[in-house]
Homo-oligomer: A and B are copies of this chain.
């Protein structure tokens, strides 16, 4: 079910989405790349400029709306999904996007995040996951690795990290994807796909914070290691990765395993073929669990993408149904309903 949002013919350019405000991230920050891709995709999704709304919480990443020349609100910490829910309910014609950080969405904002997913409210949540609290200068976040040394964990953090895709799947999200700031082409495609999804669309974007957590994703972005560490999910395609496309993933019962495609023991036909539209979430759940298994690559792409009526659709449908059945309300009926009597 694609969003039913109309556009007109004016051809907009990425720079039409660039606001007058100077961008205030640190030089080298991964946020720039995300901004660039979003500005690039925005004219292409088929939404009128005035119908875009960007909502955020607080954090470096949450400054995002200031840089988009659309409607926007830099909200309060953790509440972006809830604010966006109000916007979308009020006017389902709008294309409502959330820019949020790992702290904003998963720490203080965890509740609104899981409830947005559960309700399948039509907002797109772009999580800038740098595995650190950037704006407050470097404390560990709920996606930081255990043992991480930060300002608030000088002897190493003892928190287990959240797995954001697993959490989204556990909350029944209908669109779950992952991408990386340093892979602009892939990132752009994910954003574009999220843009046309009707329910809650969640993209986890690995984002480098070069000030407080530099290199957190370098195994996934460095030229030399990238191909061996990243698995690009493509729908209906077998899971192949590696510098020479020499490795594949098979599902051995419930256990995903890496196999060598060069020693002729395994061929493409043996591999797990990705189906992003699988109505049941179990395989997407296994994809989210890859970090739990030794030697498996990190999947990027769309883990899950299913259709399900949205919250705003059902809400407005209910209004329509009631009006169809009971007639449109008028003030007189409203006031004079119930047991009334006259005093003369």
> A residues touching B (Cβ–Cβ < 8 Å)?
107-111, 114-115, 118-120, 142, 155-156, 158-163, 166-172, 254-255, 280-283, 285-286, 289, 292-293, 308, 311, 314-315, 318, 321-322
Q: Pull 25 A–B residue pairs with CB atoms less than 8 Å apart, ordered by A.
A: A109-B111, A110-B111, A114-B167, A118-B159, A119-B159, A120-B160, A155-B318, A155-B321, A155-B322, A158-B315, A159-B311, A160-B172, A163-B170, A167-B170, A168-B170, A170-B170, A170-B171, A255-B280, A280-B289, A280-B292, A281-B285, A281-B289, A282-B282, A282-B285, A285-B285
Cβ of A169 to closest chain B Cβ, rounded Å: 6
Total identical chains:
2
> Which of A110, A156, A255 has the most CB atoms of chain B within a 10 A radius of its CB?
A110
Distance A108 CA – B112 CA, assembled complex (angstroms): 10
A288 (CB) vs chain B CBs: closest residue: B170
A285 (CB) vs chain B CBs: closest residue: B285
Q: Please determine whether B114 and A158 come into contact, CB atoms closer than 8 angstroms.
A: no
Chain B residues within 8 Å of A110, by CB: 110-111, 114-115
Cβ of A5 to closest chain B Cβ, rounded Å: 20
Q: Please determine whether B170 and A166 come into contact, CB atoms closer than 8 angstroms.
A: yes
Cβ of A299 to closest chain B Cβ, rounded Å: 15
**Of B118, B142, B161, B167, which is within 8 A of A162 by CB?**
B118
Chain B residues within 8 Å of A167, by CB: 114, 170-171
Chain B residues within 8 Å of A308, by CB: 160
Q: Please determine whether A158 and B282 come into contact, CB atoms closer than 8 angstroms.
A: no
Distance A158 CA – B160 CA, assembled complex (angstroms): 34
**Of B161, B254, B311, B314, which is within 8 A of A280 by CB?**
B254
> Which of A107, A119, A170, A254 has the most CB atoms of chain B within a 10 A radius of its CB?
A170
